[in-house]
Amino acid sequence: DVKVTQSSRYLVKRTGEKVFLECVQDMDHENMFWYRQDPGLGLRLIYFSYDVKMKEKGDIPEGYSVSREKKERFSLILESASTNQTSMYLCASSRPRSYNSPLHFGNGTRLTVT
């Protein structure tokens, strides 16, 4: 079974803090994704990566950056957390660029910024 592991289930941070959300997958997948989920808005793509050291902006990259130094790990960074970044963050991975591959998700990190 594919396993996508997010380091924290719940996280509480203060405004202005630098926040790291970590995601690790064990299936040697090339593609990795970060989404945020908000009620009524569904899942919105923040960033994705299709190879080590490669990254592409999604629909809402502002206020976020990512790092992919190793194939299995994809980190989401909030450079200076703000209250409007309070959300559920979901990491996912999939096989190489292919429109017929499903995404495999982690269990999510619920981030609260106070």
Q: Is there binding between residue 99 and other proteins (CB under 8 A)?
A: yes
Q: Tell me whether residue 54 is exposed, middle or buried, using C-beta atoms within 10 angstroms of its C-beta: 0 to 12, 13 to 18, 19 or more.
A: exposed
Does 27 contact other proteins by CB under 8 A? no
Residues linked to residue 49 through DSSP beta bridges, in sequence order = 32
Copy the structure tokens of residue 60. 């809402």
Residues 7-26: x where in contact with other proteins by CB under 8 A, - otherwise, as a string: --------------------
Contact between 105 and other proteins (CB under 8 A)? yes
Gyration radius of the chain's alpha carbons: 13
**Strand, helix or coil for residue 85:** helix
Residue 56 binds to other proteins (criterion: CB under 8 A): yes
Q: Which of 50, 63, 71, 73 binds other proteins (CB under 8 A)?
A: 50
Does residue 108 touch other proteins according to CB under 8 A? yes
The CA distances from residue 42 to 1, 27, 95, 99, 105, in Å, are 26, 26, 23, 20, 15
Report the interface residues with other proteins, using CB under 8 A.
31, 33, 35, 40-45, 48, 50, 56, 58-59, 88, 90, 92, 94, 97-105, 107-108
